[in-house]
Structure 1
Amino acid sequence: MREVEPLAERLRPRSLDEVLGQPHLTGPQGLLRRMLEAGRLSSMVLFGPPGTGKTTLARLLAEGVGRPFLRLSAVEAGLKEVRQAVEEARAKGGLVLFLDEVHRFNKAQQDALLPHLESGLLTLIGATAENPAFALVPALRSRLRFFPLRPLEEADLLALLRRALEDPRGLPGTPYEEEALRVLAQAAGGDARFALNTLELAASFGRVDLKSVREALGAERFGMDREGDRFYDLVSALHKSLRGSHVDAALYYLARLLQGGADPRYLARRLIRVAVEDVGLADPLALRLAVAAKEAYEALGSPEGELALVEAAVYLALAPKSNSLYAAWKKAQEAAKAHPEAEVPLNLRNAPTGLARALGHGEGYAYYHEDKEGSFAQRYLPEGLEGLTLFEATGEGWEERVRERLKALRERFQTARRRRG
């Protein structure tokens, strides 16, 4: 008897339009969509957390250009499998080789791919949850394009779960509660595969409600403890305790989450978010420490690696706090949305051709290291936006020095502009 495929497999998107959570790649102006519309597929690496759609995108890209698709895992494959893939590509006139966990290939295995990527016989699509820059040799990196995938937002996961309960390929007709879907979307931590597989288990109880979702997650998994505390309440408490500089509360909630079965990798990503959103430039070392804690956990695993998360949590709680980057970025996004067609000043434009130079591109540009005064006097923002102010440094930690530097720079720009007239 043929086994039924898991829900996550049955619901794999059939087109880029069905892919959720990656609009920067699959939206109307997304790079992967534009690549398919042009009918040209470059070798690339898709990197991002688990359950964000790397395998799905690889299949859709291969189908979109009409090339055979071969999947290998770098955990199991070696030079023998690479040679077999090359022979299969020759027999078929080329193919797309999807190499999962591409960062695990050693130098010799990576080198074996180079001539076949150069000739176009193989189009490589690598996938990894690691930073590919650290693991791939320069010769291979130079032949690849790199596309980051993001964890799915809660809204995307909710849309995916609703689709699973309505799509004929999924679980149509299963009774469900919206609140239960919201709990599951929160607990999934941006991982679509985990969300769908847990939904399928919850549906096996006959309906998807809070009780069945908690059963599917595990009685104590993700902070669903005997008192009924929800995973996202504990995560929220951890984040707010770190933001509020209450180190003891932060440690308590971190311990609750880890003992309750929360994925340490998800918590590591949350610590990185605190470092950039709430500490920011008040202590630039916080981001480096948070990223290092994630890498240390991935190297050591549990329980040894959990101490790296503890170190990061204590550091973040004690660090000075500033959300100046977060606030400035929101203002920048609003300004870009309000002025999407503002013209780049001529002096800042690229001038790679004679025609561009004839049109005035790059004319009058003052190179800072040779002409500091001219550099301050020239125009940087589009016409009508010269007075735009986005970033404001606080007096917290390192930003106290930044604030003085920023004040001096802005005064210098204003003086130079007044002289320019």
Structure 2
Amino acid sequence: MKPLADRVRPVELNEIVGQNHIIGEGKLLNRIVQSKIIPNMIFFGPSGTGKTTIANIIAKSSNKKFYKINGTNTNIDDIKHVISQIGTLHTMNGILLYIDELHYLTKRQQQSILEYIENGDITLIGSTTENVNFSIFNALLSRCTTIEFKALNAHDLIEGLKRAISLEETRLDIKIAYEDNAIDYIAEVSGGDLRRSLNTLELIINTYAIYNPEEIHIDIQKAVECSQSKITNYDRDGDGHYNLLSFFQKSIRGSDEQASVHALARLIKSGDLTSICRRLLVIASEDIGLAYPQAISIVKSCTDAALQLGLPEARIPLSQATILLASLPKSNTAYKAINAALDDLDRFDVGHIPYHLCDSHSNSSIKNKAVYLYPHDYPNSYVKQQYMPENIKNKTYYKHGNNKFEQSMKSYWNNIKG
């Protein structure tokens, strides 16, 4: 028997839950279905948001021969078989090829269909959970319209669950009663994935129908038991990984302690200690920097402790480091200074190191035009002399930030240097 998610799969666009930005009266996908003129498209977005279902609906609305392959287990021969059907009797109106998990196709596999997409022999609909700019070959991407699918919210999932319950009641000829808080819970812990929520519902129905084949009552206890725990969407090799780390850093940079701890909790759930520690160390220098120079030392101690402790205890020093960084004054002056200096090295000839700053032993053949002045021989260990190469002697890379520590350094050196 097919899984519940397949049995209740919508067959019309008006049965789809969510995706209101592309589905509905006058919206893009409705117009495409009504026109029956199908462009090459790539659907991208999280799992369980309706990409495959909508591809099936669009295929049904067209008069083209429909082929479907999955990028996870396809090979070049599967693609060649579809190509071989071009111009045959049953493909006179063209071919609509749906490739699920498109990002798993190799560059060569993606290239193999370019010619046929370009001349209209094949209309492609691809779906992927990855960032299309990195996972799809650019030549293929440029020939397709990309359409984003968004994670479903709890309201969408509840609507989908209630629809499934109604359909299952009819199929099984059984009464399925439910408490609102139980359905709310299933939706909440499914992470925006309708397929997950339907799998939970199916587990409840299958395992409790044996006790009472006439009526099932879904309460919060059954919902919690069959959901087990909330699953956080996290893929260490995909967009979720970088999105979550970006969310973490930007919350700390924005000095929002609450969002920073929330982001940390999500990362901890993934178990990826190494990424957390590396990102905290980067933040200490990139975003706090010279506003509080001790931050890097404290964070290094916290991350060392976290790696030595391991989870679950590692959460404690990681929380300490996160809250500290979010609460501290911010400065990116060191970050901007080194970026500007590196940029100049790529852009133009910065000139040679001043001769008087070269090593006197390894550069004995150089006749210095100026004598190196040893700063510690002078008051306040400072003496004015040229350190920058001649070509960029007036260049300024570091500018003091508007925070207590950097302003105190600025004031100190202003007094010394005059």
TM range (shorter): 0.5 to 0.7
Correspondence list, 1:22-421, <5 A: 22-91=19-88, 92-93=91-92, 94-167=94-167, 173-203=175-205, 204-205=207-208, 206-218=216-228, 221-222=229-230, 262-265=232-235, 271=244, 305=272, 307-308=274-275, 311=279, 317=323, 318-319=325-326
- Is residue 251–residue 326 contact of structure 2 (8 Å, CA) maintained in 1? no
Alpha-carbon spacing, 1:138–1:21, altered in 2? closer, same or farther (3 Å): same
- Is residue 166–residue 173 contact of structure 1 (8 Å, CA) maintained in 2? no
For 2:83, the aligned partner's letter is: V
Alpha-carbon spacing, 1:263–1:130, altered in 2? closer, same or farther (3 Å): closer
Q: CA deviation at 1:39?
A: 2.1
Q: Distance in 2 between matches of 1:152 and 1:106?
A: 30
Alpha-carbon spacing, 1:44–1:320, altered in 2? closer, same or farther (3 Å): farther
For 1:117, the aligned partner's letter is: I
Alpha-carbon spacing, 1:279–1:43, altered in 2? closer, same or farther (3 Å): farther
Q: Distance in 2 between matches of 1:272 and 1:154?
A: 24
Q: Which residue of 2 aligns with 1:392?
A: none
- Is residue 275–residue 316 contact of structure 1 (8 Å, CA) maintained in 2? no
Q: CA deviation at 1:277?
A: 9.0
Q: Distance in 1 between matches of 2:101 and 2:273?
A: 23
- Is residue 264–residue 306 contact of structure 1 (8 Å, CA) maintained in 2? no
For 1:319, the aligned partner's letter is: A
Q: CA deviation at 1:112?
A: 0.5
For 1:34, the aligned partner's letter is: R
SS, match of residue 150 in structure 1: coil
Alpha-carbon spacing, 1:216–1:273, altered in 2? closer, same or farther (3 Å): farther
1:361-413 deviation per Cα after TM superposition (whole angstroms, max 9, x unaligned): xxxxxxxxxxxxxxxxxxxxxxxxxxxxxxxxxxxxx999xxxxxxxxxxxxx
Q: Distance in 2 between matches of 1:72 and 1:17?
A: 26
Q: CA deviation at 1:111?
A: 1.0
Q: Distance in 2 between matches of 1:137 and 1:15?
A: 31
Q: Tell me, yes or no, if structure 1 residue 8 matches structure 2 residue 10.
A: no
Equivalent residues, number: 270
Q: CA deviation at 1:182?
A: 0.5
For 2:115, the aligned partner's letter is: P
SS, match of residue 45 in structure 1: strand
Q: CA deviation at 1:167?
A: 2.2
Q: Distance in 2 between matches of 1:302 and 1:276?
A: 16
Q: CA deviation at 1:163?
A: 1.0
Q: CA deviation at 1:30?
A: 2.0
Q: Distance in 2 between matches of 1:31 and 1:105?
A: 27
Q: Distance in 1 between matches of 2:224 and 2:240?
A: 20
Q: Distance in 1 between matches of 2:275 and 2:135?
A: 22
Q: Distance in 2 between matches of 1:273 and 1:81?
A: 38
SS, match of residue 25 in structure 1: coil
Q: Distance in 2 between matches of 1:282 and 1:302?
A: 23
Q: Distance in 2 between matches of 1:181 and 1:306?
A: 34
The percentage of counterpart residues that share the same residue type is: 30
Q: CA deviation at 1:308?
A: 2.5
Alpha-carbon spacing, 1:44–1:174, altered in 2? closer, same or farther (3 Å): same
For 2:116, the aligned partner's letter is: H
SS, match of residue 98 in structure 1: strand
- Is residue 42–residue 145 contact of structure 2 (8 Å, CA) maintained in 1? yes
- Is residue 42–residue 146 contact of structure 2 (8 Å, CA) maintained in 1? yes
Q: Distance in 2 between matches of 1:274 and 1:181?
A: 29
For 2:275, the aligned partner's letter is: A
Q: Distance in 2 between matches of 1:209 and 1:399?
A: 57
Alpha-carbon spacing, 1:120–1:213, altered in 2? closer, same or farther (3 Å): same
Q: Which residue of 2 aligns with 1:370?
A: none
> What do you get for the CA RMSD once the two structures are aligned?
3.6
1:67-109 deviation per Cα after TM superposition (whole angstroms, max 9, x unaligned): 2221111121121111101123432222211111111212211
- Is residue 99–residue 126 contact of structure 1 (8 Å, CA) maintained in 2? yes
Q: Distance in 2 between matches of 1:60 and 1:184?
A: 27
TM-score between both structures, scaled by the size of structure 1:
0.56
- Is residue 281–residue 399 contact of structure 1 (8 Å, CA) maintained in 2? no
Q: CA deviation at 1:207?
A: 2.7
